[in-house]
């Protein structure tokens, strides 16, 4: 087997050829500056790449990835990324996006200890131990892991919102919005999980992460949102209930 990875260089050439055929000035614009509107805090999982998932070109999103999309407030890497993105690039949106079936989250729930990875996952492991009865009430391990994936995202959004970098931006009136999303690898769809925060006041009004464990959010995909919007435009009273004004109840039944 070749060790030169020449096939990857060949793929790079083919990619450049496709981009320049479609847009001859693409790489010249990329070289001049980057002006992304979004920051993506995601998992290192090779199946979840921000540009592909969002359908964006290079230069449109600023990306930081790590195991299980954990936000450590002492992590110089993520602090540097956020400071540069907020203060220099003036991004408008910070997205924390995890994914269902996350291997890092599964490790945090596994009880295995001792590796460097376990130090990284410790905040998530501690949350699991605190609410173990709630999570273990799900007999299906996959459901348990996926529920923890959701809670993990909500926790990391709160951690970002508590950073002085973010507080300072909000205090000076900078437009900066935090979002919690989750991605399903098995269907390719993003789901809006929340919370969504645009100010210190909104952050301070949030329920605690412990409350989130007990009261699950309802992740909503764009497909579902579009279906709800289309459904709400139907004249359901005339369509299914003879105009008696109780159409929604009839469809639900």
Domain boundaries, the chain: 33-218, 222-253
pLDDT tens readout for residues 84-112 = 999 999 999 999 999 999 999 999 999 88
pTM: 0.86
pLDDT-based confidence at residue 224 (cuts at 50, 70, 90): confident
Which pair of tokens denotes residue 85? 């993105």
Spatial distance between the Cα atoms of 124 and 212, rounded to a whole number of angstroms: 14
Catalytic residue list contains 142:
no
Q: Catalytic site residue 102?
A: yes
Q: Environment class of residue 221 by beta-carbon count within 10 Å: exposed (0-12), middle (13-18) or buried (19+)?
A: middle
pLDDT value, residue 2:
62
- Homologous superfamily of the 33-218 domain (CATH): Carbonic anhydrase (3.40.1050.10)
Residue from 99, 144, 147, 179 carrying the catalytic annotation = 99
Q: Which of 7, 10, 17, 43 is catalytic?
A: 43
Question: Is beta strand 190-192 parallel, antiparallel or unpaired with respect to 177-183?
Answer: antiparallel
**Residue whose tokens read 């020449």:** 6
Q: Please indicate whether residue 64 is annotated as part of the active site.
A: no
**Among the options 18, 29, 37, 47, which is catalytic?**
47
Residue 98's φ and ψ, nearest 5 degrees, are -95, -170
The answer to whether 47 is a known catalytic residue is: yes
| Alpha-carbon span 95 to 240, nearest angstrom | 41
Among residues 64, 97, 102, 107, the one annotated as catalytic is 102
Mean pLDDT of the chain: 90
Q: Determine the pLDDT at residue 138.
A: 95
pLDDT in tens, 49-88: 999 999 998 899 999 999 999 999 999 999 999 999 999 9
Q: What's the token pair of residue 189?
A: 């769809």
What whole-number distance in Å separates Cα of residue 50 and Cα of residue 73? 23
């Amino acid at each position: 087997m070749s060790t030169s990875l020449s096939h990857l260089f060949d793929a790079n050439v083919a990619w450049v050829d496709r981009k320049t055929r479609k847009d001859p000035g693409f790489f010249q614009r990329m070289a001049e500056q980057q002006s992304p509107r979004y920051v993506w805090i995601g998992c290192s999982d090779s199946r979840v790449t921000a540009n592909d998932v969002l359908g964006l070109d290079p230069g449109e999103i600023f990306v930081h990835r790590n195991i299980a999309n954990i936000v450590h407030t002492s992590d110089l890497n993520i602090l540097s990324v956020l400071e540069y993105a907020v203060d220099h690039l003036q991004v408008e949106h910070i997205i924390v996006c995890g994914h269902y079936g996350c291997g890092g989250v599964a490790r945090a729930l596994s009880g295995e200890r001792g590796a460097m990875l376990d130090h990284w996952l410790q905040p998530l492991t501690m949350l699991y131990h605190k609410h173990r009865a709630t999570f273990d009430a799900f007999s299906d391990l996959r459901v348990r892991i996926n529920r923890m994936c959701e809670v993990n995202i909500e926790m990391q959004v709160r951690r970002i919102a508590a950073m002085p970098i973010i507080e300072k931006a909000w205090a000076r009136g900078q437009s900066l919005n935090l979002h919690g999303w989750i991605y399903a690898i098995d269907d390719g769809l993003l789901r809006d999980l929340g919370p969504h925060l645009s100010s210190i006041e909104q952050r301070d009004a949030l329920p605690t992460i412990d409350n989130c464990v007990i009261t699950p959010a309802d992740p909503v995909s764009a497909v579902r949102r579009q279906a709800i919007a289309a459904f709400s435009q139907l004249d359901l009273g005339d369509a299914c209930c003879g105009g008696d004004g109780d159409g929604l109840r009839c469809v639900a039944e």
